[in-house]
Amino acid sequence: MGDDEPRIFLVHLQKTAGTTLIRRIRRQFDDPRAVYPHTTDGDRIARVISVEHLLSAWEARKREIRVVTGHFPLCVADLLDGEFTTVTALRHPLDRTISYLRHHRRVTPADADLSLEEVYDDDLRYHGLIHNHMTKMLSLLPEEMDAGALTRVEFGEERLHRAKQRLATVDIIGLQEEFEDFWRQLATRYGWSVEDHVQRERRRPSRLSEDFCERILADNADDVRLYEFAVRLVADRAGPVAQRI
């Protein structure tokens, strides 16, 4: 990236191959501090989820930051005084949710013996990072955001419509299921290495009851509709999209 290029703002939706994407992006820069967050940016959790923490780090070293990552809603880019190319990837809500549940159980020893259904039923996790997560991350407004990605909101047609509108403004959109195509688009734009050896971690699918899968899909119906819109948008990005909103 040249200094005259707009910086990149990555809307990292949970469990959409964002970690692999960030690792690949980091490999393209000689200076690791070019990608936020860096290990020197403070608390490991706060730097990827606290909007206030990001804003503070931005003020301190915005001259050297070329890429902003973290679990920040799209509207956070509007709070930074810079020009950004916005980037995000979406994933089918059922697969995304199951992946998140398994990830949480894997990295949280205290919950390792819980069923996926028990993890799903936790109030904080459900409302913070599961329930229509993609719709929320794309539709949040700065004035309603009180806890970043963990902000609780009411869902409905207006919010889904706004999420679609906002998604249509994102410069580079990918699908987790077509990750290499997504990476190729981004790498080609910036002259990065298309052939990258940072591979996505693949795990065997969990056996889940049909009832639980149907429950996830019903609870996340807005995300299902948003994902379907994203699939169409990615397929015909060069054409008009207003009629699909």
Orientation of helix 179-190 relative to helix 18-26, angle to 10°: 30
pLDDT at 199: 58
Helix-strand-coil percent breakdown of the chain, rounded to 5?
A: 55, 10, 35
Percent of the chain with pLDDT over 90: 87
pLDDT at 148: 96
Domains of the chain and any CATH numbers: 7-244 (3.40.50.300)
Residue 153 is encoded by which pair of tokens?
A: 């909101």
| Rounded distance between C-alpha atoms, residue 153 and residue 90, angstroms | 20
What value does the mean pLDDT take over residues 98-126? 96
Residue 242 has pLDDT above 90, yes or no: no
> What are the strands, taking DSSP E only, across the chain?
7-11, 35-36, 67-68, 84-90, 172-175
- Residue of 59 and 1 predicted with greater confidence: 59
Q: Per residue in 19-45, pLDDT tens?
A: 999 999 999 999 999 999 999 999 999
| Rounded distance between C-alpha atoms, residue 122 and residue 177, angstroms | 27
Residue 84 is encoded by which pair of tokens?
A: 């950004």
Instruction: Look up the pTM and report it.
Output: 0.92
Residue 202 has pLDDT above 90, yes or no: no
| Rounded distance between C-alpha atoms, residue 20 and residue 30, angstroms | 18
| Rounded distance between C-alpha atoms, residue 104 and residue 27, angstroms | 27
54 close to 140: Cβ distance less than 8 angstroms: no
Residue 16 has pLDDT above 60, yes or no: yes
Across all residues in the chain, what is the average pLDDT? 93
pLDDT at 5: 81
Band of the pLDDT at 131, cuts 50, 70, 90?
very high
6 close to 67: Cβ distance less than 8 angstroms: no
Identity of residue 59: E
| Rounded distance between C-alpha atoms, residue 222 and residue 93, angstroms | 9
Percent of the chain with pLDDT over 70: 91
DSSP classification of residue 109 = G
Residue 200 has pLDDT above 60, yes or no: no
